[in-house]
Structure 1
Amino acid sequence: MKKVITGHDGQGKSVFFKVESETVTVGSPIVDWHEIWATHADDKIPVDTSAGKSREQYTADVHNVFPARNQSMFRVLDFKPGDAADALTPDEFDAFVSQLPGLASHMEQDDPGMHTTDSVDYGVIISGKIKLELDDGEQVELTAGDVFVQNGTRHAWRVEEHCRMAVVLVGTDRQ
């Protein structure tokens, strides 16, 4: 996957901020996590490469996997079949979670995979298929080309075969 990000130089001219082959930010037997871009509540556009923030701070500086209010995150996730998660040892699971700050605190202990975030998530299934599960076990299968809007609901992703998903998360306040 090629990642192309545009921005502006100190004179306001459009420039290619970053052009590269995307690598996995966090890999595991459960999901490969590609962190593409993140904005913070105080960020302004146009993005100026001379403004003191390095290019890497927008993509590799993941302090929490879920955005705070007025933050946004763009990522691509490669989910692996459900049995992969079951095969993890406790140490492997702890190692995976330690690479993704904030993930463990959102996951429900008594219902694996279920979680709730303070964000609106806009996503598209690029390849494969995945099931979106909500309260009471209700599920909808999503396949390549399908889109979803996740409005801060309690949910889980159920994976039977490989699935690649692109998603933008926008942090908001919960009522």
Structure 2
Amino acid sequence: MRVRRVVAGNDARGKSVLLSDGAVPNSHDFESMPGQAQARVWFTAGPPVTTPPGSEPTSNTGPVVPGFGGASFVIVQYAPDSVVTDPRFDAERAGEVATYAPDIAEASDPAEPGMHRTPSVDYGVVLDGEIWLELDDGTQTRLTRGDTIVQIGGRHAWRNKTDRPAAVAFVITGTGG
């Protein structure tokens, strides 16, 4: 997935300047799940500051969910559910999720694939396609382009019942528990 990231901030004199403009440096297209991808746009581990970071704040293999007071901006492209229900799907190769989204993989319920709970409040907007939010009680809510979601620490899963990928932008804020 290719996503452009423009970062603006302040120089040493306090004047607003363009700090960078280019492709998100940490994104991954999942080989085991065609159509699944993530772009790590920005990551702040703890409470944000207005001083630009000294180095790249994102990582392809670090946590997705920040600590208390932190924020993570990630765009996720969800493959159609048919990718993982296809008899040719290799679940062992899907272990790459543990490499590229380790905390999400750890928070996932192996008995109910896709279901997970993170210590965060997540704000999302559907950028493309349609996606279903599934909750513990079995409720599934369909979201389409432009729809928004606020997920307050509840156990949930994202389901793509269509035949094409769906993209959702999330700002994930860490609650610390």
Residues 73-96 of structure 1, C-alpha deviations (whole Å, 9 max, x = no match): 001111110121334313311233
Q: 2:12 aligns with which of 7, 10, 13?
A: 10
- Secondary structure, aligned partner of 1:26: strand
Give 1:24 deviation, angstroms.
6.1
What residue number does 2:90 align with?
89
The total of aligned residue pairs comes to 168
Aligned equivalents of 2:152, 2:40: Cα separation in 1:
21
Distance 1:61 1:89, change over 3 A: closer
Q: Distance in 2 between matches of 1:124 and 1:42?
A: 23
Where structure 2 has 5 or more consecutive residues not aligned to the other structure, the ranges are none
Distance 1:93 1:61, change over 3 A: closer
Match of 1:39 in 2: 44
Seen in structure 2, the aligned counterparts of structure 1 residues 104 and 95 have a Cα distance that, compared at 3 Å, is same
1:10–1:48 CA contact under 8 A, matched in 2: no
Identity %: 32
1:138 offset after TM fit, Å?
0.6
> Structure 1 residues 160, 36: CA separation in 2 closer, same or farther (over 3 Å shift)?
same
Detail structure 1 runs of 4+ shifted over 2 Å in the superposition.
21-24, 59-63, 85-88
Cα distance in 2 for residues equivalent to 1:118 and 1:48: 26
**In 1: Cα distance, 2:47 partner to 2:10 partner:** 18
Match of 1:171 in 2: 174
Assess if the C-alpha contact under 8 Å between 2:132 and 2:142 holds in 1.
yes
Paired residue for 2:123?
122
TM-align CA RMSD: 1.9
Q: Distance in 2 between matches of 1:96 and 1:143?
A: 25
CA contact (8 A) 1:5 1:17 kept: yes
Find the aligned partners of 1:171 and 1:25 in 2 and give their Cα distance.
21
Q: Give the Cα separation in 2 of the matches to 1:71 and 1:102.
A: 15
Output the TM-score relative to the length of structure 1. Answer: 0.87
Counterparts of 1:135-154 in structure 2 under 5 Å?
135-154=136-155
Instruction: Report SS of the residue matched to 1:103.
Output: helix
Cα distance 1:107–1:38, how it changes in 2: closer, same or farther (>3 A)? Answer: same
For residues 39-58 of structure 1, the aligned pairs below 5 Å read 39-41=44-46, 43-45=48-50, 47-48=51-52, 53-54=54-55, 56=56, 58=57
Decide whether aligned partners of structure 1 residues 136 and 43 sit closer, same or farther in structure 2, where only a CA change above 3 A counts. closer
